Chain A
Amino acid sequence: MKDKYHILYALSGLFLVTSFFSSCKHQEHEYHNITDKIEAESKDYQGISISSEDFIGDIKTLEISEGAHTFLIPERKSQIKSYTCTECHSKSLAQMQNENEAKKAHWNLGLNHADANTMNCVTCHDGSNMDNLISLTGNTLDFNYSYRLCAQCHTNQFDDWKGGAHGKKIASWAPPRASMTCVNCHNPHDPGFKSRWPAKFNTQTEKERR
């Protein structure tokens, strides 16, 4: 008789212990949190069948490698209306300044970027070769890689952009990554976003809340 009770106790004890352990781990939730899940499930990530190439469309891109990041950005030079610039700007800036009757070009362009102590036209444009840009130390920079010019001062934004926290991607989230470059969103002569009216006002919510 006593043995029977023993077995009963042992069984119920075993049942309690197993139910205690099994109840902690919910069947449907394999992972403790989303970070664990991402880490575990991305270990054998093989790539996906979707490609961003179908969505980039006619946009010409070029591949850049910055640090550990390699991605596509839109090509720029073919988008500039009257490139090459030297088709008009045949003389260098120094020559033009010496002439008495200097013709004014791009008079409609203002510069609303930093202040006059920091920047003027030739901080970025090469006065002796208008087809290219120029770095702070006087090196030639291609218009296609104008982000390198911006990165001279805006280092934090540059880091975020390389990683993907700053800026927008072109059309698709899928690889290969294609991101917009600085000048696709910011006008380099006036880079700030302007204050404006919101695109939408919800009249119904307004009514309901009154």
Chain B
Amino acid sequence: MGDSIKKWFSLNLGNSNTKPSGSCGCGNPSGGCGSHNSENTDENAIGEERHKDGFEQVFDVKMDRRSAFKKLTASLMVGAGAITTSCSVIVGDETKEKAQIDWEEQFKGNYKLMSDEEKKGTVDRLVRSYQLRTGKTISMSSKNAEEDVLFGYAFNISKCQGYMDCVTACVEENNQDRSSQMEYIRIHEMEDGKGFNFNEADDNYYHEVPAEGHFYMGTQCFHCDNPPCVEVCPVQATWREDDGLVVVDYDWCVGCRYCMAACPYDGRRFNWSTPEVPEEEVNKNQHYLGNRMRKKGVVEKCTFCVQRSRAGKNPACVEACPTGARIFGNLLDPDSTIRWVLENKKVFRLKEDLGTEPKFWYFMD
């Protein structure tokens, strides 16, 4: 995608090379901004937005006056800010750049539909924006799924001792909000001889572990191969990547929490307040789909530490587990340890009858 044809409108504030293209005020060359009424604006059923990308997803939608105004107000706030800064002679280049970034971020498309170049663009903007706001440099990746990789996970119930080292590592690795203590991983303490009784299990114990007569098992996002959370998302802000990871575009999520209701495993978490991480504890090795800083009102969850796993490292929980209860690997590699576990141990998954096909297996010694 060249500079001349962009999927969304960009505003030139005098410090960037990009120029708004197109013949109308919205800058969309294909004429889908609403002021030109083309034929295809009328046929817009759910599921069809996958054929439209970026700018069109926002504007090429038939909507009533009320929702149109709602959308416009949000955008106008950004626009107004951008224009005041661009017109002012007092503000410095940095403020202008910040406004430029805010504008481009406001009107960027869905990450799922972006080309590699666009992905890199948004990641660069986010890194720069963080630098302008905090003065700190982070590294953010937009690495795509590797060919011939399908991630899978196995959990050894007889090894887990309930030490919770995995939870601590996960919170730190993934920049999770410290005050709400929303945690991706739950460790359930269950009584021996009662089976998986989640109603009676304790997932917030505090005593010496392992407790007599109890066993422990962890749950988190199972990265279903047939994920119900993805089906229900009204804006397609969550999807399954080619390497099997179920991911969320935090900038596209509208916070409706349908996905949380649809998940049969309680795998998703919601940011009721703006997540806060002390500056010195921020993990600066980030991925767009993973542990980058979230905002208020979006859903997040375990991504098998996409920033680590796509690079080749084990997820933080696997690395932190002192007992080796957690096994992670490539399901498509016939020589991988995860494949050996699946083929040689008596494995099972939770709620298998739902057909969600989780890629998270449990087994015992």
Query: Do A and B bind?
Result: yes
- Chain A residues within 8 Å of B, Cβ to Cβ: 29, 33-34, 37-38, 41-42, 45-52, 54-55, 156, 160, 163-169, 171-175, 177, 179, 185, 193, 195-206, 209
B39 contacts chain A at the CB level, 8 A cutoff: no
Select one of B146, B324, B334 contacting A49, CB under 8 A.
Answer: B146
Given A174-B330, A198-B209, A206-B204, A163–B341 Cβ distance below 8 Å?
yes
Q: Can you name the residue of chain B whose Cβ is closest to the Cβ of A156?
A: B365
Chain A interface mostly helix, strand, loop or mixed? loop
Residues of chain B contacted by A50 (CB below 8 angstroms): 146, 311-312
Chain A residue, CB-CB nearest to B204: A205
A109 to B156, CA, bound (A): 32
**CB-CB nearest 5 A-B residue pairs:** A164-B337, A163-B340, A204-B181, A50-B312, A198-B164
* A37 lies within 8 A of B225 (CB): yes
Q: Across the interface, which residues of B come within 8 angstroms of A165, CB to CB? A: 154, 156, 327, 337, 340-341, 344-345, 363, 365
B-side interface size class: 35 or more
Q: A165-B344, A173-B314, A199-B168 are in contact. Are A42 and B333 (CB under 8 A)?
A: yes
**Given A34-B225, A172-B314, A173-B309, A199-B167 contact (CB < 8 Å):** yes
Interface residue? B15 (CB, 8 A): no
Q: How far is the CB of B93 from chain A (nearest CB, A)?
A: 39
Instruction: Report the stretch among B64-72, B129-137, B280-288, B315-323 that lies at the interface.
Output: B315-323
Q: B146's contact among A48, A175, A185, by CB below 8 Å, is which? A: A48
Residues in chain A near residue B335, CB distance under 8 A: 175, 177
In the assembled complex, B331 has its CB within 8 A of some CB on chain A: yes
A166 and B345 alpha carbons, distance in the complex (Å): 11
- Bound Cα distance A34, B223 (Å): 12
Most chain A CB within 10 A, of B161, B312, B330, B334, is at B312
Partner of B334, one of A42, A54, A196: A42
Q: Which residue of A lies closest to B328 (CB)?
A: A173
How far is B334's CA from A47's CA once the two chains are assembled, in angstroms?
10
Task: Say whether, besides A165-B156, A173-B312, A48 and B147 are in contact (CB < 8 Å).
Answer: yes
Q: What's the nearest-Cβ distance from chain B to residue A27, in Å?
A: 12
In the complex, chain B residues whose CB is within 8 Å of the CB of A164: 327, 329, 336-338, 340-341
Task: State whether A196 touches B163 (Cβ < 8 A).
Answer: yes
On chain A, the residues within 8 Å of B332 by CB distance are 38, 41-42, 45
Are A54 and B156 in contact, CB atoms less than 8 angstroms apart?
A: no
Residues of chain B contacted by A55 (CB below 8 angstroms): 312-313
Rounded to whole Å, the gap between the CB of A183 and the closest CB of chain B is 14
Q: How far is the CA of A165 from the CA of B336 in the complex (A)?
A: 11
Interface of B, helix, strand, loop or mixed by DSSP: loop
Q: Contact at A202–B181, with CB atoms within 8 Å?
A: yes
B43 at the interface (CB under 8 A from A): no
Interchain CA distance A38-B147 in the complex, whole Å = 14
Q: Which residues of B contact A (CB under 8 A)?
A: 146-150, 154, 156, 159, 161-165, 167-168, 171, 179-181, 183, 203-210, 225-226, 309, 311-314, 318-319, 321-324, 327-342, 344-345, 357, 359, 363, 365
Give bound CA distance, A55 to B312, whole Å: 8
Contact yes or no, B146 A168, CB < 8 A: no
Residues of chain A lying within 8 A (CB to CB) of residue B146? 48-50
In the complex, residue of chain A having the shortest beta-carbon distance to the beta carbon of B203 = A205
Q: How far is the CA of A82 from the CA of B226 in the complex (A)?
A: 55
Inter-subunit contact B328/A201 (CB<8 Å): no
Query: What are 5 residue pairs bridging A and B, where the CB atoms are less than 8 Å apart in the complex?
Result: A46-B148, A48-B147, A163-B340, A173-B314, A174-B312
Contact A45/B334 with A165-B341, A165-B344, A169-B314 known, Cβ cut-off 8 Å: yes
CA–CA, A52 to B337, complex, Å?
14
Chain B residues near A172: list those with CB within 8 A: 312-314
Q: In the assembly, what is the distance between CA of A163 and CA of B163, in Å?
A: 25
Given contacts A38-B150, A164-B341, A195-B210, contact A173 B330 (CB under 8 A): yes
Q: How far does the Cβ of B320 sit from chain A's closest Cβ, in whole Å?
A: 9
Q: Report if A201-B204 is in contact (Cβ < 8 Å); known contacts: A48-B146, A175-B333.
A: yes
Q: What B residues does A177 contact at CB under 8 A?
A: 335-337
Q: How far is the CB of A53 from chain B (nearest CB, A)?
A: 9
A166–B329 CB distance below 8 A = no
- Given known pairs A34-B225, A50-B311, A172-B312, the reply for A197 and B321 (CB within 8 Å) is no
Q: Nearest A residue to B340 by beta-carbon distance?
A: A163
User: In the assembly, what is the distance between CA of A179 and CA of B331, in Å?
Assistant: 18
Does A195 contact B209, Cβ atoms closer than 8 Å?
Answer: yes
Q: Which residue of A lies closest to B326 (CB)?
A: A168
Give chain B nearest CB distance to A36 CB in angstroms.
Answer: 10
Q: When the two chains form the complex, which single residue of A160, A179, A203 contacts B181, counting CB atoms closer than 8 Å? A: A203
| A163 and B337 contacting across the interface, CB-CB below 8 Å | yes
Give the shortest distance, in Å, between B50 (CB) and chain A (any CB): 11
Apart from A169-B318, A172-B312, 17 more pairs, CB < 8 Å? A38-B150, A48-B146, A156-B365, A164-B327, A164-B337, A165-B327, A165-B340, A165-B341, A166-B324, A168-B321, A174-B312, A177-B337, A193-B323, A195-B209, A199-B165, A200-B164, A209-B204
**In the assembled complex, how far is the CB of residue B54 from the closest CB belonging to chain A, in whole angstroms?**
23
Which chain A positions have C-beta within 8 A of B147?
A: 48
